[in-house]
Amino acid sequence: MLGMLFSACTKKITDLNYDPKNPVTGLASAVFLQGEKNLSDAYTSTSVASAPFRVLAQSWTENTYVYEAQYNFAAYQAPDGWWNNLYVGVLRNLHQAKILFPQQVIGDSVGLRNDLIITDILEVYAFNLLTATYGNVPYSQAETDSVPYPKYDDSKTIYADLILRLDSCIAGLNLSGTAMGAADQIYGGDPGEWKKFAATLELKIAMQLADAEPSVSAPAALNAVSAGVFQSNSDNALFHYDAASSGNSNPIWQALVQSGRHDFVPADLLVNVMDSLNDPRLPLYFTNFPIGSSTYSGGIPGGGNGYGAYSDFSAQLQTPAYPGDILDYAQTEFLLAEAVERGIAVGGTAADHYDSAITASIEFWGGSAADAATYLAQPTVNYATADHGNWREKIGYQQWIAFYNGNWDAWTIIRRLGFPDINQINPPIAAQGNLPLRLTYPVNEQNSNAVNWAAASALLPGGQDVVSANLFWEQ
């Protein structure tokens, strides 16, 4: 009996504690792809628990359950979801890919360097979303295994470092070398396209600083343009979703079709503005309502609305393989138009850039060059004669229209340029205050990272962690 007991003992019992189904080491390119996919998912998501920006921007609005449309985030806690998606879903995987690439890309130092730089560019993209959403955020101590409660870094300092990182990425990419290939579902590992992406991202970040830090903004914008920003829609950073499996399909399809739910309708503001401008993108964005008519109708932000009582989203937006668009040529041209208006010598005229932006957007959505020309020829749209007075308003409105699927960027362009001025022209029914200028820090920060959260909150204008506290670049 004694023998039985001893023979029952496993010799090296700690070996039992290796999980036989999950590896302790990852494949660098596969981990990179997880990070890239999570970034596209986070940006494309319609979830009011992580990305309520379409609703805030009144591109879309909600049916019946209208918390976010009224600027109430308590029920679904979007600030937690957005933060977690970026820090955990995106940045943790990109960070791990950076650790794994040097272990696995052997004998190709140029390829390895390109792999690391491309990963770094996506990290910069994600950190820009974070600091431009919340303000001061953990940066220097983020993504370290040993610091469970990272301190928050000053937003201005983060911006400066992001621009530095992009400059060195642009300089470091070797266009004759290779990169991770098909594991990159945006550009197939093409270093040339990633160089343009980095430059365009730098331009975008630079323009976020244009009002607050013109001395940082202008040189960065010029650097970006001289490095070579996007030239056409073929440069667009489109993540290729996979229709073959629902988890890898476009999050919009998952939310609007797969779930069987009908939580959103197009918002009346966007529908009405486009209608008044005879916008050729109307049938590309929306379905007709009433069904069978040739008219369009949008729901009232903050109102109960009701699916089927308004236009629906167009069929192309509701397909499982519809790409995730995280940065595109239309946005590039809008940024350039703005740069010209701000006196930054990026070349060309504001009107030309404006026309190119709108044309790129119409063509991207499936319209023709002729549609664009007709549209631009209207005095209400034409840059010289558009109703809206100053350049902020003209560029703001058109960029907002083009950002129908731009989600966070649609909200941010309003925060940045002030147009369309939702607080004046279409405040939601029962809105809790004005359009949020930021998201509050996640509740989890308050619970777990309490000391650093309190310090960061105290530094906000007004010393309170509220959505009405403006970020340093929001003038």
Partner 1 sequence: MLLASCIAYALILHAQAKLINGKVTDQQGQPVPFATIRVKNSKQGVSADADGNFSIRTSPAETLVVSGANITEKEVAVGDSTYLNIQVAHTTSNLNEVVVTALGIRRSRNSLPYAAQQISGDEINKVPTVNAIDNLSGKVAGLEITSSNTMGGSTNAILRGMKSLTQTNQALFIVDGVPYDNTNQSTYGYDLGNAAADINPDDIATISVLKGAAASALYGSRASNGVILITTKKGSNRKAMSITASFGVTAGSFDKSTLPTYQTQYGEGYGSIGGNDNNGNNPNPFFYYQPIPSSGGQPVPIVVTNIDAATGPAYDPAMKVYNWDAFSPTNPNYGKATPWQPAAHHDPTDFFVTPVITSESVIAEGGGEQGTFKLGYTRNDDKGMMPNSSIFKNMVDLDATYNLTDRLTAEGSLDYVNENAINRNLYQYTGTTNPMTDFRQWWPTNVDLQELKHDYFNSLTNATWNWQDNGSYQTNALGNIGKPAYHNNPYFQQYQNFESDGRDRYLGYAKLNYKVSGFLNVMGRVSKDYYDQQTELRTNVGSVELPFYSRFNQSYDETNYDLLINFDKNLNTDFNLKALLGGNVRQDNIQDITAATNGGLIIPGLWSLSNTVQAINAPAEQVLRKEVDGIFAGATLAFREMLTLDATIRRDKSSTLPAANNTYYYPSVSANFIFSKLVTPTWLSYGKVWANYAEVGGDAPYYSVRNTYTLNTPLNGEPVMAYSTVNNNANLLPEKNNTYEAGLEMAFLHNRIGFNADYYHSRQIDQIMPISVSTSSGYFTYYVNGGTVQNQGVELNVNITPVKTNAFSWTLTLNWSMNRNKILFLYGNQPSFVLPGGTLQNSIQIVAEAGKPYGIIRGTDYVYKNGQRVVDSTGHYEISSNRESDIGNINPNWIGGVNNSLTYKNLTLSFLIDMKQGGQLYSLDMDYGSSSGLYPRTAGFNDKGKPVRAPLSQGGGIILNAVTADGKPNTTRIDESDILAGDYSFSSAYGEADKEFIYDASYIKLREAALTYSVPAKAFGAGQFIKGLDVSVSGRNLWIIHKNLPYADPEQGQASGNVSIGFQNGAYPTVRTFATTLKFRF
**Cα four-point dihedral sign 181, 86, 312, 59:** negative
DSSP secondary structure string for all residues of 299-353:
BPTTS---TTSS--B-GGGGSTTPPEEEE-HHHHHHHHHHHHHTT---SS-HHHH
- For partner 1, the closer of residues 259 and 349 by Cβ is 259
- For partner 1, the closer of residues 310 and 375 by Cβ is 310
Least distance (Å) from partner 1 to the CB of residue 56?
Answer: 18
Q: 60-62 and 137-138 as β-strands: parallel, antiparallel, unpaired?
A: unpaired
- For partner 1, the closer of residues 34 and 155 by Cβ is 34
Q: 264-266 and 60-62 as β-strands: parallel, antiparallel, unpaired?
A: antiparallel
Q: What does DSSP assign to residue 87?
A: I
- For partner 1, the closer of residues 77 and 405 by Cβ is 77
Least distance (Å) from partner 1 to the CB of residue 9?
Answer: 5
- For partner 1, the closer of residues 152 and 473 by Cβ is 152
Distance from C-alpha of 197 to C-alpha of 202, rounded to nearest angstrom? 8
Least distance (Å) from partner 1 to the CB of residue 161?
Answer: 16
- For partner 1, the closer of residues 280 and 302 by Cβ is 302
- For partner 1, the closer of residues 51 and 229 by Cβ is 51
Least distance (Å) from partner 1 to the CB of residue 429?
Answer: 5
DSSP secondary structure string for all residues of 67-78:
TGGGT--TTT-H
**β-bridge mates for residue 138, sequence order:** 152
**β-bridge mates for residue 324, sequence order:** 239
Least distance (Å) from partner 1 to the CB of residue 266?
Answer: 13
- For partner 1, the closer of residues 141 and 272 by Cβ is 141
Buried b (16+ CB within 10 A) or exposed e, 262-286: ebbbbbbbbbebbbebebbbbebbb
Least distance (Å) from partner 1 to the CB of residue 173?
Answer: 22
- For partner 1, the closer of residues 266 and 280 by Cβ is 266
- CB within 8 A of 88, min separation 6: which ones? none
Reduced DSSP (H G I as helix, E B as strand, rest coil) percent helix, strand, coil of the chain, to 5: 55, 5, 40
- 45 within 8 A of 66, measured Cβ to Cβ: no
Least distance (Å) from partner 1 to the CB of residue 88?
Answer: 5
- 330 within 8 A of 237, measured Cβ to Cβ: no
Least distance (Å) from partner 1 to the CB of residue 249?
Answer: 8
Least distance (Å) from partner 1 to the CB of residue 138?
Answer: 4
List the beta strands (DSSP E) in 63-168.
137-138, 152-153
